[in-house]
Amino acid sequence: MAKTILAVDDSASIRQMVAFTLKGAGYEVIEAVDGQDALDKANIHKVNLVLTDINMPRMDGLKLLELLRKLAHYKTVPILMLTTESGDEIKAKGRAAGATGWLVKPFDPKRLLEVIGKVIG
Amino acid sequence: MSTDLEQFYEIFFEESSELLADMETCLLRLDVNSPDLEDLNAIFRAAHSIKGGAGTFGFTDMTEMTHMLESLLDKLRKGELEVRSEMIDAFLKAGDVIKAQLAGHRGEGQADPTVAAAVCEELKRLSDETQAPAKELTNPATNAETVQVEAEVAEVEVSTIDDSSKLTYSIEFSGTGMSDATLENLFANLKQLGNLENLTSANVIDLCKLKLTTDKSEEDIWETLAFVVDPATLKIVVDTRNKNEAMAIEPEEKNSISTDAKSIIDEDEFSMTDMPPAPGYGFFPGAPAAPQDIDDAESSLNSPQQQSANNSKNEANATLNKSSSKANTGAAAPVSEASSIRVSIEKVDQMINLVGELVITQAMLAQTASQFDPVVFEKLHSGMNQLERNTRDLQESVMSIRMMPISFVFSRYPRVVRDLASKLNKRVELKTVGENTELDKGLIEKIADPLTHLVRNSLDHGIEVPEKRTAAGKPAQGTITLRAFHQGGSIVIEVSDDGAGLNRGKILSKARERGLPVHDGMTDQEVWLLIFEAGFSTADTVTDVSGRGVGMDVVKRNIQGMGGRIDIESAFGVGTRISIRLPLTLAILDGLSVAVGGQMFIVPLNYIIESLQPTAADIKTVSGHGRVVQVRGEYLPVIALHEIFNLRPNVTEVHEGILVILEAEGHKAALFVDDLVGQHQVVIKSLESNYRRVQGVSGATIMGDGKVALILDTAALVMTSQQEAV
């Protein structure tokens, strides 16, 4: 069965690009527009991987990470953060919130698939 | 793969335009003295999202600008810098540049790189210049926090950062298409990381070669470069000891991790060390592990993570219940993104067209059905009634798709007013009322320019300088109000100000100077209309804002071109109100149908002043210039419709027919027709796209009986008659 990925980004263009790329590689994709939306959807669909932006309205990616990690299903699910912010501070925060890894924007579809492939093959 | 990205360009453009508009709204709302953190965050987020998208889709000029914007904004929202009004100005300018760049990528015009560079420079200056004093101001709490985070980073991401011995990297990338300023900026950023050597040969700009000795990780270098340099051409190689590629993935023994996580990490480690260094992403050792909050990182970092994992397990159960109940209610809450769809305007127009056809067909059927006996064909008649109702509803709802709230136009004026008021040293507040009033998208686009002109005029000529206002007993701050509302089948947009009002005496004397036919007995309304005359200006001095006398006539022409009307009310010393009345949509027209020689023509209703039957004595023939008719002391040229369209009329003598008095662009003329038929709402069909352009005809429509009627280009007819009369 195809693996399901939850793609969270408030930017429609990035979200659609990510979704398109992942679908093209045979993944199922669920899209969410912010942390709150993602949390709601993550509760309904038990996805195999979460790919989240950090800076979003309503609920940001760090809070989402933190809350997801408190859910039984998401304790061990890989959660990758997509971030335009470079620097160690954000990575430390992500790590503390329970992120599996990070991917710096801008990225191209190839790199995205490469990273995803490493995590859920 | 890169060509696939193009399909997302349009979404990105739309999204960025919206983000820019949001950003501008927030910027204008921002109070410099007590900036709202929410607003600053929203502005930051907008810049951030645009940067992310622009980077992904390869619009490097935009990433550069948004990056500068973002750096300064970040300092503001973290309280490292104080918001100053010159920053807001710089942000607004940057927004304009991004807008221009966006338009450039869309293929609409070209962004000026020198302007972009200047704004970039200014943002950089603002961000750097104030850095020193602000550091002193930074409160100890934030300082401590930063230190804490740094300490933590040092501890957890040991593998790269603890390798404190400096490494030398050789960096190569293509500099094609990059401006000198960009490169310089980039070099400056790299220099901050360590010792930079530029090995680029002067004559080969295509390939930049750098040598950087630094204690920073390869990722840091990558991140510095990634937004500016095409990642595909970027090569970073460690020169000396090849120590760095493992990055942050060595699992730390002190963390006990779940087996699942362990396997992921192991796999990661294996593959990451196996491949050539690919910076830009990485994984955390020990993740996914038990969650811990950054705030209590201090304590939990030292304690075994197992413990906190156990703690949070209980917590997690509680949250799970809470979250799932939230999910149930949350699912019902509409997400704004999902509740609207983007449809191309062509599709909507096609639908409107088809519904137009349907309305015509329905009218034809209704006319045919009316010939059947209502008693015998009762069902047919009730069916026809229902069809008519449904068609009308359908037409209304389809038309409403093209409707957009006028806030799309109004939202640009706070900026216009702000810029202009500061330029003119005036204090002005802009109020908008009825932003949600909807009108046709086509009209929205066309109304923007005339409205801008009126707003600028109000500000420049209407509102007085604060001293003058105070002297006149008015509040120092003037008010300009934009108001929109529906009235009947039209929308009314008003621009009103509490300024000086129009000066009747001054307008009259200026009009006399220009040789316009004026007299003291004219009504105020007539006097005010003089300001729409071409080249008319009462301004004593010409500024670069307005006063050249160009514009008001254009405004009036534009409004009339939309089938609208413009009115002025003014009281000297109290203020002026200009109201624009527009039809709700461009697709339907209120028209008077007139008959000439068995043909039907539609005259747009808003051009008609009156209809009359002249006496033979009123008609005069001017040799070589056709006929004129005297209407209440005024001689108007007579336009015989049958002559223009080469028809054989039922009546040839003017006094036997009917004259429809038309007014367009300040000129009047009398249209000679056989008969008036009735008033209709007609669906406009383009004659140009279905046949070809015909002089004197602006379009066509299909009448209820299935016959085609031409819609007269009234303005053109009146102008032609004027030229002939001269």
CATH code at A71?
3.40.50.2300
Give the nearest partner residue to B294 out of A24, A40, A93, using CB atoms. A93
> Please, which residues bridge with residue B213 across strands?
B168, B195
- Burial annotation B573-585 (CB, 10 A radius, 16+ → b, else e): eebbbbbbbbbbb
Query: Looking at residue B702, what is its pLDDT?
Result: 81
Query: Looking at residue B253, what is its pLDDT?
Result: 39
In a 3-state reduction of DSSP, which class is residue B327? Answer: helix
pTM: 0.49
Please answer whether residues B39 and B76 qualify as being in contact, where contact means their C-beta atoms are separated by less than 8 angstroms: no
Q: Are the Cβ atoms of A70 and B292 closer than 8 angstroms?
A: no
CA distance B269 to B247: 9
Strand order from edge to edge, sheet including B619-621: B608-612, B658-664, B667-673, B634-640, B627-631, B619-621
CA distances from B32 to B59, B97, B129 (A): 32, 22, 18
Contacts of B22 (CB under 8 A, 6+ apart): B42, B46
Query: Looking at residue B82, what is its pLDDT?
Result: 81
CA distance B647 to B422: 61
Chain B residues with CB under 8 Å of A64 CB are none
Query: Looking at residue B523, what is its pLDDT?
Result: 82
Query: Looking at residue B348, what is its pLDDT?
Result: 85
Please answer whether residues B277 and B243 qualify as being in contact, where contact means their C-beta atoms are separated by less than 8 angstroms: no
Listed by number, the residues of chain B in 454-493 with a beta carbon closer than 8 Å to a beta carbon of chain A are none
CA distance B219 to A104: 10
CA distances from A16 to A6, A33, B55, B527, B656 (A): 12, 11, 15, 58, 69
Please answer whether residues B630 and B615 qualify as being in contact, where contact means their C-beta atoms are separated by less than 8 angstroms: no
- Burial environment of residue A60 by CB neighbours within 10 A (0 to 12, 13 to 18, 19 or more): buried
CA distance B676 to B73: 66
Q: A50 versus B305: which is more confidently predicted? A: A50
Give the nearest partner residue to B294 out of A17, A80, A97, using CB atoms. A97
Chain A residues with CB under 8 Å of B291 CB are 65-66, 69-70, 97-98
What phi-psi label fits residue B563: left (phi over 0), alpha (psi between -120 and 50 degrees) or beta?
A: left
- Tracing tokens 């302007």 back to the chain, one arrives at B115
In a 3-state reduction of DSSP, which class is residue B605? Answer: helix
Closest residue in chain A to residue B223, using alpha carbons only? A86
> Please, which residues bridge with residue B710 across strands?
B601, B700
| SS3 track for B480-525 | EEEEEEEECCEEEEEEEECCCCCCHHHHHHHHHHCCCCCCCCCCHH
Q: From the CA of A46, how many Å to the nearest CA of chain B?
A: 12
Q: Are the Cβ atoms of B284 and A107 closer than 8 angstroms?
A: no
B31 interfaces chain A, CB cutoff of 8 Å: no
CA distance B315 to A15: 31
- Tracing tokens 């004559």 back to the chain, one arrives at B203
Amino acid at B149: V
Q: Are the Cβ atoms of B331 and A84 closer than 8 angstroms?
A: no
Q: From the CA of B199, how many Å to the nearest CA of chain A?
A: 26
Q: Are the Cβ atoms of A91 and B56 closer than 8 angstroms?
A: no
Query: Looking at residue B327, what is its pLDDT?
Result: 37
Low-confidence ranges of chain B (pLDDT < 70): 1-4, 129-166, 175-182, 185, 192, 200-207, 216-220, 222-233, 238-279, 285-339, 488-489, 537-550, 585-587, 665-666, 724-726
Closest residue in chain B to residue A101, using alpha carbons only? B283
Q: Are the Cβ atoms of B223 and A13 closer than 8 angstroms?
A: no
Q: How many helices (H) and strands (E) does chain B have?
A: 25, 23
Identify the residue among A67, A84, A108 best suited for mutation to test binding to B, counting B beta carbons within 10 A and taking the highest: A84
Identify the residue among B271, B294, B340 best suited for mutation to test binding to A, counting A beta carbons within 10 A and taking the highest: B294
B272 interfaces chain A, CB cutoff of 8 Å: yes
CA distance B143 to B687: 71
Q: Are the Cβ atoms of B63 and A106 closer than 8 angstroms?
A: yes
pLDDT in tens, B561-590: 787 888 888 888 889 999 998 877 666 777
CA distance B18 to B85: 24
CA distance B470 to B491: 35
Closest residue in chain B to residue A86, using alpha carbons only? B223
In a 3-state reduction of DSSP, which class is residue A95? Answer: helix
Listed by number, the residues of chain B in 314-333 with a beta carbon closer than 8 Å to a beta carbon of chain A are 315-317, 319-320, 323-324, 326-327, 330-331
CA distance B415 to B452: 11
Contacts of B121 (CB under 8 A, 6+ apart): B181
Domain count, chain A: 1
Query: Which pair of structure tokens corresponds to residue B415?
Result: 């900026």
Query: Looking at residue B247, what is its pLDDT?
Result: 39
Listed by number, the residues of chain B in 193-222 with a beta carbon closer than 8 Å to a beta carbon of chain A are 219-220, 222
If you ran DSSP here, which 8-state letter would residue B281 be given? E
Q: From the CA of A103, how many Å to the nearest CA of chain B?
A: 4
Q: Are the Cβ atoms of B324 and A55 closer than 8 angstroms?
A: no
**Which of B77, B79, B25, B71 lies closest to B47 in space, CA to CA?**
B71
Query: Looking at residue B632, what is its pLDDT?
Result: 86
- Burial environment of residue B376 by CB neighbours within 10 A (0 to 12, 13 to 18, 19 or more): exposed
Q: Which secondary-structure segment (H or E) carries B223?
A: helix B218-226
CA distances from B337 to A4, A31, A53, B54 (A): 21, 11, 17, 20
Contacts of B25 (CB under 8 A, 6+ apart): B411, B414
Q: Which secondary-structure segment (H or E) carries A10?
A: none
Handedness of CA B537, B543, B544, B545 (dihedral sign): negative
Range of the domain at A90: 4-120
- Tracing tokens 């019902």 back to the chain, one arrives at B332
Query: Looking at residue B219, what is its pLDDT?
Result: 65
Q: Are the Cβ atoms of A14 and B52 closer than 8 angstroms?
A: yes
CA distances from B627 to B110, B139, B146, B720 (A): 53, 86, 88, 14
In a 3-state reduction of DSSP, which class is residue B231? Answer: helix
Q: Are the Cβ atoms of A108 and B2 closer than 8 angstroms?
A: yes
